[in-house]
Chain A
Amino acid sequence: MRKAITLLLGLALAASLSGCGYPELYERILVHGIGVDLAPEGYRVTVRSSSSAEDEGEELFTCQGETVLEALSSLSLSTGREPFYSHNYLVVFGQECARQGLDRCLDFFIRYYNTRPAVSVFLAEDTAEAVLSAERDGKLLKMSQLEALGSGGRYNGQSAHVELLDFVNGVLREGGSPVMPVLAAEEGGARVTGTAYFEGCRLKSTLNLDQSRGYLAASDQLEEGELVVSAPELGVVTLSLKEASSRCRTSQVEEGLGFTIEVQAEADVSAKSGGGGADFYPQLEQAAGQLLAQQAESAIRQAVVEDRCDIFGFGNQLYRQSPGYWRENGANWKEQMASASYQVQARVKVRRLEEETLQGLG
C-alpha cells in the first residue's frame, strides 16, 4: 500500500512540474469592460482588458458575432487567449441596442457561469464602442474610473448606480420598469448625462440630471449631492445634501390611487452669495424643499404618467402592501398609474451651525 502511494505521489509530482496544461494567468484576456452594440449581423462587442497593473485596461478589442457570447469567443481567434470575465467591471449597451430591446443580449450576462450579477450596467448616449474608446490625455480611460461614474451617484446625487441584478429585478418586478445611467463619450473622457428608463427591456426615454436627482430622492436612493438654490431674496446658495431619505404612502381616493412621497434631507450651506436677513434659513429650507419636490415630480410626470414606466416601484409597493388589490387590478396597472395622483413633499433641514458665527462675503 505504501509503495503504491509513494509511486503515485512521485508521478503526481513529476506531472505537476510540467504544469498539467492548465492555462496560465497571462494566457487569459482579463476582461474589465464590455460594450455591446448592434451590428448588421448580430452584435459588435467592444472589450477592454488589462495585461499589467500599471496599464489598467490598456487593451481594446472589437469583435462581432451573431450573439454576444459568439462575438466574445471570437476574441481568441485574434488574440490566442481565453477571455476571463470574472473581473469585468461594467457593461455598456449601445443606444440602438437598447431601442431594439436588451433581452437578447442580456441573457448571456445572466446565464453564463463566469459573469457576475453585481456588474455595473450603463447605456451609451451613442455607441458603447465610443464610450469604451474614450480617451483622456491621449490614453484610454481607465475602466475603474468609468465604473466609478456609476457609483459616483452617491456623491453627486444625480446618477443612479445600477447593477445587472437591479436591472433584471426592475424588469421582472410586478409593474416595474428598470433604469440605467446614461454615459456620453466626450473630449477628456466620459460623463453621466442622465438616467434612461425602459419598458421591459426596450429603451423608452431619458431623464436629465435634475430629474435624475428627483428620481433618486423619491426612490430613497439619494445619499449626498449638491443642490443649488437661487432666488432674489436668497441669492445663490449651494447646499450639500446629506442623510436623505424618502417614504411613499399609498392611499385610495375617489378618483383612484394616490401616492404621497415624503422626502427628507439634511443640508449644509457650502457656498452663498447674496441673500440674508432674519428669514434667510426658513426661506432657504422652503425653497430647497420645493426645488427637490419639483425635480421629483418632473421625473414622475415624465416617466410614470406620460411614458407609463413605473421606475419608482409604486406598483411593487402596492403589490406588497395590498396583494388582494393587486390581484384584481394589477393587469391594468399601466392605465392606473397614468391616472393616479402623485404628491411629493420634500423637507430640507439646513444645519445652522454657521448662523451666528460665519458671515461669508455676502
Chain B
Amino acid sequence: MERTNISTGQFFTALFVSRISAAISLNAQYAGGGDLLDSAASCLLALAASGLMALPLWLALRLGGGKSLPQLAVEGGWLGRLVPAYYLFFLVFSGGSALGMFQVFLGDTMDPDFSSGLVSAALLGVALYGALRGLETVGRCGACVFAALVLGGGLVFGMAAVRFDPDNLEPLFYHGLGQTARSFPLFLARTSIFAEMAVLLPQVKGRRALGFGGWLAGTGLFLSGLLVLVVGCLGRYASTQNFPVYVLASLSQVRSLRRLDALFTGLWMMGLIIQLAMGLYACRVCFRTLGLGKKEPRWSLWLAAGAMLGLGLLTAGSTGLQGLTLNPNSLAWWAAGAGTLAPLLALVLGLRGKGKKPPQKEKR
C-alpha cells in the first residue's frame, strides 16, 4: 500500500542521514587543501548560508498555499514546467553523482572481487523498492537507518577517538581564508535537500521550519565534529588519503577486533540508499507535475533509477565526467539553483497564475 504523508521528524531525519552519508567523501582534494580544520569552520558557515539560501523556497511554499513548488510553477503556464524539469534533472544528477562517488570509493579503497557496478545496482534496486512503496516507507526506514548509524558510527568513531591527539590540531586560518572559501561549495554541494523540500514539503506534517533548523544544526555539528575528529586522530596523514573518514574508521580496534571499515562502509551505504530513495520518490512527484502521466506513474521511478545508475556507472568509469559530476563547485551551483533560483521562478509564475485564474479547490 502506498503512503504519501510523512512527519517532520521522519522527513528531516531521512535527509540528515542522506547528508551525512556524503561525509565519507570529504578529503583534502575536494576541500581545497590540507587544512581540514578550516573546512570545519567552512562547514558551519555553509550551513548557515544554506538557511538563508532556502528563504525563497520557504516563501514560495508559504504563498503557494500547500502546493509544492513544481505545482505552483506549472500554474503559471508552459514556462512553469521548467521548474519540475529542473528539479527532476537535479535529483537525477545528484543521485547519480552520489552513486558514482560511492563506486569510485569502492574501487579505490576496497577493491572488491566483484564488480562495484553490481553493488551500485543493488543499492539502487533497494532504493527503488522503497520509492515504490512510498514516502512513508522511506521516512520510517530513514529513522531506522539513523538509529543504526548513530549506534554503529558511535561505536566505530568512539573506538577511533582513543587516538585523538590535541597536538594534531592546527591553528585555524593559518594560511588565510583561502581554504575556507574553497571548501564552502563542498558543503553546499553534496545535498539535494532543497529539491526534496521544494517537491515534498507539502506532504510533510508538523513544525517544518523547526525540522529544517534541526537539520541544519545537526548536520553542521556532525560534519564539523567529524572533521575535528579526523584531524585530531590522523593529523596531516589525513591529507595524504583520498577518503580520510574511511581511514579513520579503519583505525578502530578493540583487542583482536580490527578493521571494522567494511562494516562502517555498510552503515554508510544505508544512508546512501535513503538518499537515493528519497530522490527517486521526489522524481516521481516531478513527473506527475509535468503531466507525464495521469497519476504518479510508476514507470517514472524506473526511468529515473535507470538514469541515476547510468550516470553513476559512467562517472565511475570516466575521469572526464568525474570532473563534472563530482566537482563541488558545479554541484554547488546546481544546489543554489534548486534552493534559490527555481523557487523564485516558481513564486513569480505561481503568483502570475493566481492572478489569471479564479480560486480553485486544491486537488491532491
Residues of A that sit less than 8 Å from B by CB? 22-23, 86, 110-111, 113-114, 116-118, 165, 168-169, 172-173, 313, 316-317, 319-320, 323, 327
User: Given that A22-B113, A327-B174 are known contacts, is A113 also in contact with B108, CB under 8 Å in the complex?
Assistant: yes
**Residues of chain A within 8 A of B168, CB atoms compared:** 169
Determine the distance from Cα of A316 to Cα of B234 in the docked complex, in whole angstroms. 15
Q: Is the CB of A172 within 8 A of B251?
A: no
Determine the distance from Cα of A172 to Cα of B250 in the docked complex, in whole angstroms. 21
Q: Is the CB of B237 within 8 A of A169?
A: yes
CB-CB contacts below 8 Å: B214-258 with A: 234-237, 239-241, 247, 250-251, 253
Q: Is the CB of A313 within 8 A of B167?
A: yes
**Residues of chain A within 8 A of B234, CB atoms compared:** 117, 165, 169
Determine the distance from Cα of A169 to Cα of B169 in the docked complex, in whole angstroms. 12
Q: Is the CB of A168 within 8 A of B111?
A: no
User: Given that A165-B234, A168-B237 are known contacts, is A113 also in contact with B170, CB under 8 Å in the complex?
Assistant: no
Q: Chain A's nearest CB lies how many Å from the CB of B249?
A: 11
The listed residue (B113, B171, B241) touching A23 by CB distance below 8 A is: B113
User: Given that A22-B113, A114-B111 are known contacts, is A173 also in contact with B236, CB under 8 Å in the complex?
Assistant: yes
**Residues of chain B within 8 A of A319, CB atoms compared:** 170-171
Determine the distance from Cα of A126 to Cα of B108 in the docked complex, in whole angstroms. 36
The listed residue (B113, B174, B239) touching A323 by CB distance below 8 A is: B174
| Dominant secondary structure of chain B at its interface with chain A | helix
Q: Chain B's nearest CB lies how many Å from the CB of A154?
A: 14
- Report the interface size for chain B: residues with CB under 8 A from the other chain: 24
Q: Is the CB of B237 within 8 A of A172?
A: yes
Q: Mark B104-134, 1 if CB is under 8 A from A, else 0.
A: 0000111101100000000000000000000
A and B contact pairs by CB, cutoff 8 A, 28 listed: A86-B259, A110-B237, A110-B240, A110-B241, A113-B108, A113-B109, A113-B111, A118-B251, A165-B235, A165-B237, A168-B237, A169-B234, A169-B235, A169-B237, A172-B235, A172-B237, A172-B239, A172-B240, A173-B235, A173-B236, A313-B167, A319-B170, A319-B171, A320-B167, A320-B169, A323-B171, A323-B174, A327-B174
Determine the distance from Cα of A316 to Cα of B171 in the docked complex, in whole angstroms. 10
Which chain B residue has the least Cβ–Cβ distance from A320?
A: B171
Residues of B that sit less than 8 Å from A by CB? 108-111, 113-114, 167-171, 174, 234-237, 239-241, 247, 250-251, 253, 259
**Residues of chain A within 8 A of B108, CB atoms compared:** 113
Q: Is the CB of B236 within 8 A of A117?
A: no
Which chain B residue has the least Cβ–Cβ distance from A174?
A: B170
**Residues of chain B within 8 A of A118, CB atoms compared:** 250-251, 253
**Residues of chain A within 8 A of B241, CB atoms compared:** 110
Determine the distance from Cα of A54 to Cα of B228 in the docked complex, in whole angstroms. 43
Question: 4 tightest CB-CB pairs across the interface, nearest first?
Answer: A172-B236, A323-B171, A169-B235, A168-B237
Which chain B residue has the least Cβ–Cβ distance from A167?
A: B237
Which chain B residue has the least Cβ–Cβ distance from A171?
A: B236
Q: Identify the interface centre among B109, B170, B171, B253: most chain A CB within 10 Å of its CB.
A: B171
Which chain B residue has the least Cβ–Cβ distance from A21?
A: B113
Q: Identify the interface centre among A110, A111, A316, A320: most chain B CB within 10 Å of its CB.
A: A320
**Residues of chain A within 8 A of B240, CB atoms compared:** 110-111, 168, 172
Determine the distance from Cα of A113 to Cα of B105 in the docked complex, in whole angstroms. 11
Q: Is the CB of A117 within 8 A of B235?
A: no
User: Given that A313-B167, A320-B169, A320-B171 are known contacts, is A116 also in contact with B250, CB under 8 Å in the complex?
Assistant: yes
Q: Chain B's nearest CB lies how many Å from the CB of A114?
A: 7
Determine the distance from Cα of A110 to Cα of B236 in the docked complex, in whole angstroms. 12
Q: Chain A's nearest CB lies how many Å from the CB of B336?
A: 33
Q: Chain B's nearest CB lies how many Å from the CB of A164?
A: 8
Q: Chain A's nearest CB lies how many Å from the CB of B37?
A: 11
Determine the distance from Cα of A317 to Cα of B108 in the docked complex, in whole angstroms. 35
Q: Chain A's nearest CB lies how many Å from the CB of B242?
A: 9
Which chain A residue has the least Cβ–Cβ distance from B246?
A: A113
**Residues of chain B within 8 A of A173, CB atoms compared:** 235-236
Determine the distance from Cα of A168 to Cα of B171 in the docked complex, in whole angstroms. 20
Q: Chain A's nearest CB lies how many Å from the CB of B118?
A: 12
User: Given that A117-B247, A118-B253 are known contacts, is A320 also in contact with B170, CB under 8 Å in the complex?
Assistant: yes
Determine the distance from Cα of A316 to Cα of B237 in the docked complex, in whole angstroms. 15
**Residues of chain A within 8 A of B167, CB atoms compared:** 313, 316-317, 320
**Residues of chain A within 8 A of B237, CB atoms compared:** 110, 117, 165, 168-169, 172
Q: Identify the interface centre among A22, A113, A168, A313: most chain B CB within 10 Å of its CB.
A: A113
Query: A110-B240, A169-B236, A172-B235 given. 12 additional CB < 8 A pairs?
Result: A113-B109, A113-B110, A113-B111, A117-B247, A117-B250, A169-B235, A172-B237, A172-B239, A172-B240, A316-B167, A320-B170, A327-B174
Q: Chain B's nearest CB lies how many Å from the CB of A216?
A: 15
Q: Chain B's nearest CB lies how many Å from the CB of A161?
A: 12
Determine the distance from Cα of A113 to Cα of B241 in the docked complex, in whole angstroms. 10
Q: Chain A's nearest CB lies how many Å from the CB of B161?
A: 14
Which chain B residue has the least Cβ–Cβ distance from A107?
A: B240
Determine the distance from Cα of A111 to Cα of B241 in the docked complex, in whole angstroms. 7
**Residues of chain B within 8 A of A22, CB atoms compared:** 113-114
**Residues of chain A within 8 A of B247, CB atoms compared:** 117
Q: Chain B's nearest CB lies how many Å from the CB of A249?
A: 15
**Residues of chain A within 8 A of B259, CB atoms compared:** 86, 116
Determine the distance from Cα of A317 to Cα of B165 in the docked complex, in whole angstroms. 13
Q: Is the CB of A117 within 8 A of B251?
A: yes
Determine the distance from Cα of A313 to Cα of B234 in the docked complex, in whole angstroms. 16
**Residues of chain B within 8 A of A320, CB atoms compared:** 167, 169-171
Q: Chain A's nearest CB lies how many Å from the CB of B234?
A: 7
Determine the distance from Cα of A346 to Cα of B235 in the docked complex, in whole angstroms. 29
Determine the distance from Cα of A357 to Cα of B113 in the docked complex, in whole angstroms. 67
Q: Chain A's nearest CB lies how many Å from the CB of B176?
A: 10
Determine the distance from Cα of A169 to Cα of B251 in the docked complex, in whole angstroms. 15
**Residues of chain B within 8 A of A327, CB atoms compared:** 174
Determine the distance from Cα of A33 to Cα of B108 in the docked complex, in whole angstroms. 24
**Residues of chain B within 8 A of A172, CB atoms compared:** 235-237, 239-240
